[in-house]
Structure 1
Amino acid sequence: MRKLISILTLSLLFTTASLFAQNSGYNIKVKLQDSQDTSLLLVSYYGNTNQIKDTAYLHNGTYDFKGKEALKGGIYLVVFQNKQYFEMIVDKEQHFSMETDPADPVNKMKVKNSKDNDAFYEYMLAINKLGRKDKKLNEEYKAAEGDKTKQDELKEKIKVVNEEVKSLKLDFIDKHEGSLFANVLLASKEPDVPTILPKKEDGSDDSTYIYRYFKEHFFDGFDFADERLLRTPIYASKIKRYFTKILVQRPDSLIKESIAIIEKAKPNKETYKYCIWYFTYVSETSQIMGMDEVFVALGKKYYLTGEAYWVNDKVLSRMTKRINTLDKILIGKKAPNMIMQDTLLNLRGLHDVVADYTIVIFWDPDCGHCKHEIHELEPWYKENGEKYNTKIYGVCTDTNMVKWKGKIKEYKIQDWINVDGPRSLTPNYHDLYDIISTPTIYLLDKNKNILAKRLSWNQTTEFIKREYENALKKKNE
């Protein structure tokens, strides 16, 4: 009896150990028909980038991806040496095998021990079939140009195919609720916009309703805190589209919507981190004037309060300096004063300039683009400076006074308020005005508030003209 118990106990221990080994880490076997590749890459999506996670080498006809730690859930790519690839679902099931033909991976795919990938490829086969049908109908539609009856008939058939695609997605979501790919399909859904517009109080159609409805329902079904979605193509692309294409590109609107998304992503550390990084990065590097206001607002809320837990002291120091610099030169704020020496070594203060509009231009005598901008700006200034009550405060970035004076004469800009940046009583102009390159142009109003910045010469003059005409119109109302 004791021997029997010992054997049973030993058997149970071996079984448990075997199950534990099977369920820990990952082991994904890939077999390719007629492939000469010596190795394959396992690649993960992450935001809008790809990350190599593993390499498998050919051994006895099989490529074996294997690791002691489980992979994080997402859609992964198995990449061939010719850069072609097929996708697979990696979630709870991480011990499975896949066999296919590299020339036709979807149609020839065979999956073992992965219900997620069985369902995924069943869906892919069906959606590809509908895609081919849709393509054929659209080609026939174009070929039938001039035959309205035929085109109307084809249009109806295309509608039927589109409905079949919708039904296929909804069926998958219903059958596989909570699975990774079901969540991907949910997240990728487009809002069904109503075709009938509501009426405004005056009885006319509310033409803004479609936009408002689309915006309000754009993220229906999108789980911002599902970390798995971050490792699929949908997470980053949909957020980017919303931020850059759907939202009105005004700082107040972008700040509000960015914070709303970040807070929805907060329950998960990875999605929270990604959303904070994405919105601050995009707003800091944007070429759209005024977007630095978004960067400053998000930076203050998340970086300067310690919420960006992943950044080290060096990065945080850089971010803090950048946020504080840009915060002082946002559009609408009073421009920092500069007191610098002119060509006669007299001190000239920016805030002492009396004008309705002040153009502040930072330029370098050796800068070819500066020469071009000045040559275009100067004739306009001579002709229109008095009309628009405009002055130019030109800050030279070179310490060589002989060279500086020579360029003033050459460019015929003696009528500017010319000052030398390095000869200053006020803090370094690079830090005050975030001068990274030349030329850099700021436009100030009569109170020295920043109207616009980082403009070209023609943008500057057009801005002045528009502001002047708007002020004149308002005065005459």
Structure 2
Amino acid sequence: MKKYFLSLFASLLITSVFAQTTAKNAYQIRVKIDGFTEKQLFLGYYMGDKQYVMDTALVDAKGEFVFSGPEALKGGMYIVVLPPSNDFFQVLVTDKEQSFFVRTTKDKPGENVKFEGSKENSLFYDYVNYLNAKRPEAEALGKEIAEAKDNQAAKDAAQKKMDKLNEDVEKYQKDYVVKYKGTFAAAIINANINVEPPKTFDNLAEEEKNRQLWLWTRKHFFDNLNLSDNRLLRTPFLFSRLDNYVNKLSVQHPDSISVAIDTVLERLRPADEAFKYYLIHFLNSFAASKFVGMDAVYVHMSEKYYATGQANWANQEQVKKIVDNAKKLKPLLIGKTAPDIVLERNGARTMLSQLKSEYTLLYFWRYDCGHCKESMPAMKKFFEKFKDKGITLVAICVKPAQDQPECLKYIQENGLTGWYNAFDPTGRYYVQYNVETTPQMYILDNKKEIISKQVPADQLEDVMDKIIEMNKKEKENAGNK
């Protein structure tokens, strides 16, 4: 069933707007709620995937609540919240319509609102009321289809009615957007109209059909979504739509995600406030990502936007911190050749690059590190299972030369002598591998390229099994060519 009945309109506000704002206040929203006995009311707004309270109004002698302020409200969809139930209703705000008078009821405030003088809200709630009128019919048909079960004739008859209802709703939506083009109400409706793929895809085999649908959806994802409109920043649907494009419709590889983010930001660029919000959002999201390798997205964004001055709202100290952090991370990204370091063991020195092994597990640790101690049992178990599978475990105790005897003592007491235990007498590992915390772990292939990193010790066996299996298949495929 097509989802034409938008959930974001489940509880909506119908407003009235005064012709002009007062000289004192740039915005003024008066609210009268019949049956509501509380003394305060809240005005909030949407931002990202959250809602924030921006104003509080106390009831006056007329029984009204007045939200007002000296600075105009940014365009968007706002919410009026009734304590203590937190029922709410929504209002549209544009640059031209900053003053409202709203009357509704305590019970079902979103269904009983009355307004006058606001073109945007009048248009918007004409649409909402249309959907509300169609919803009972859709629900009844949905129930009829479910209850038909094995009665195919009854199911087909009900589905035919449902298809007709959906066609009517779709036509109403499209006619509405054309008729009221240029209004904020039409922009909201248009952004939530499903873009239908070609019916010719139905003739394809299932796998190819899904592939073509995915490609088509990515190409046409923004057909109805005008990201240059700053007002959409304060709506309840924009965040989920952009998150879906970046984190679901895009291949979850750093390169693909970076391209997806660039696509979104380029479309947002004319909407300066939205561009700023989502640039910061994506940067922070991938800086804190728990998925291995996604720091490459952070590095990409730092180089493309912060290092080039496109984040012109950030102070120089912030920019420098972000850019410097990206410079530290870049040599350690998956696919890069691991920085070469000196390994001293039993008085002899060699370079990491000179070790011959199908896989090298580079493990930075300290004997006085709580997390390292917690990881040791899993690390020992892993080594016993994989030591004969082409793996060299290079364990570097990140202590200065004078503390190395304590490292060796811990190694002997905990039965870690089978590892390639070493230390870097130059101390360069600290900078080259950005070792600010321990433990840290890197999995290298036979060319010393980083193929994974920062894997929790208790997940190391599973990750290594998958790496070995993938490598085996790649060799088999290469041999068959």
Q: TM exceeds 0.5?
A: yes
| Counterpart residue identity of residue 443, structure 2 | L
- 2:190 aligned with 1:189, yes or no? no
Q: Which residue of 1 aligns with 2:115?
A: 111
* Structure 1 residues 177 and 379: alpha-carbon distance in aligned structure 2, compared to 1, 3 A threshold: same
Cα RMSD over matched residues?
Answer: 2.8
Q: Which residue of 2 aligns with 1:305?
A: 308
Matches within 5 A, 1:85-96: 85-91=88-94, 92-96=96-100
Q: Select 1:158's aligned residue among 149, 156, 162.
A: 162
* Structure 1 residues 102 and 371: alpha-carbon distance in aligned structure 2, compared to 1, 3 A threshold: same
Q: Which residue of 2 aligns with 1:47?
A: 48
- 2:207 aligned with 1:179, yes or no? no
Distance 2:176 2:249 in 1: 28
> 2:382–2:460: 8 Å Cα contact kept in structure 1?
no
Q: Which residue of 2 aligns with 1:37?
A: 38
Matches within 5 A, 1:11-22: 21=22
SS at match of 2:199: coil
Gaps of 5+ in 1: 1-17
* Structure 1 residues 139 and 328: alpha-carbon distance in aligned structure 2, compared to 1, 3 A threshold: same
SS at match of 2:472: helix
Distance 2:37 2:267 in 1: 47
Gaps of 5+ in 2: 1-18
Q: What's the CA shift string for 1:410-447, capped at 9, x where partnerless?
A: 54221112235xx6413352x43344654432111222
Distance 2:362 2:377 in 1: 16
> 2:24–2:70: 8 Å Cα contact kept in structure 1?
no
Instruction: Using the aligned pairs only, state the percent identity.
Output: 28
Q: Which residue of 1 aligns with 2:433?
A: 433
Large movers: runs of 4+ above 6 Å: none
- 2:413 aligned with 1:404, yes or no? no
Q: Which residue of 1 aligns with 2:72?
A: 70
| Counterpart residue identity of residue 192, structure 1 | E
**Residue 34 of structure 1: CA displacement?**
0.9
Distance 1:406 1:156 in 2: 78
Distance 2:312 2:268 in 1: 15
Distance 1:86 1:309 in 2: 36
| Counterpart residue identity of residue 190, structure 1 | N
**Residue 380 of structure 1: CA displacement?**
4.4
SS at match of 1:466: helix
Distance 2:406 2:131 in 1: 69
Q: TM-score, normalised by structure 2?
A: 0.85
Distance 1:143 1:199 in 2: 30
Distance 2:242 2:298 in 1: 17
**Residue 85 of structure 1: CA displacement?**
1.1
Q: What's the CA shift string for 1:202-257, capped at 9, x where partnerless?
A: 9x966522211111111102111110011112222211110011111122222222
* Structure 1 residues 435 and 42: alpha-carbon distance in aligned structure 2, compared to 1, 3 A threshold: farther
| Counterpart residue identity of residue 274, structure 1 | Y
Distance 2:304 2:267 in 1: 15
Judge which range, 205-214 or 369-378, deviates more.
369-378
Distance 1:325 1:278 in 2: 21
* Structure 1 residues 133 and 433: alpha-carbon distance in aligned structure 2, compared to 1, 3 A threshold: farther
Q: Which residue of 2 aligns with 1:363?
A: 365
* Structure 1 residues 74 and 447: alpha-carbon distance in aligned structure 2, compared to 1, 3 A threshold: same
Q: Which residue of 2 aligns with 1:28?
A: 29
> 1:199–1:205: 8 Å Cα contact kept in structure 2?
no
Q: Which residue of 1 aligns with 2:290?
A: 287
Q: Select 1:240's aligned residue among 235, 238, 243.
A: 243
* Structure 1 residues 268 and 207: alpha-carbon distance in aligned structure 2, compared to 1, 3 A threshold: closer
* Structure 1 residues 59 and 210: alpha-carbon distance in aligned structure 2, compared to 1, 3 A threshold: same
Judge which range, 142-151 or 18-27, deviates more.
18-27
Q: Which residue of 2 aligns with 1:277?
A: 280
Q: Select 1:170's aligned residue among 174, 177, 192.
A: 174
* Structure 1 residues 207 and 53: alpha-carbon distance in aligned structure 2, compared to 1, 3 A threshold: closer
Distance 2:375 2:468 in 1: 18
* Structure 1 residues 19 and 275: alpha-carbon distance in aligned structure 2, compared to 1, 3 A threshold: closer
Distance 2:20 2:259 in 1: 49
> 1:22–1:95: 8 Å Cα contact kept in structure 2?
no
Q: Which residue of 2 aligns with 1:125?
A: 129
Bigger-Rg structure (1/2): 1
Distance 2:425 2:140 in 1: 71
**Residue 56 of structure 1: CA displacement?**
1.0
**Residue 68 of structure 1: CA displacement?**
1.9
**Residue 23 of structure 1: CA displacement?**
10
Judge which range, 188-197 or 242-251, deviates more.
188-197
Judge which range, 392-401 or 138-147, deviates more.
392-401
Q: TM-score, normalised by structure 1?
A: 0.86
Q: Select 2:233's aligned residue among 230, 235, 242.
A: 230
Distance 2:337 2:187 in 1: 48
* Structure 1 residues 137 and 365: alpha-carbon distance in aligned structure 2, compared to 1, 3 A threshold: farther
Report 1 or 2 for greater relative contact order, CA contacts < 8 Å, sequence distance ≥ 6.
2
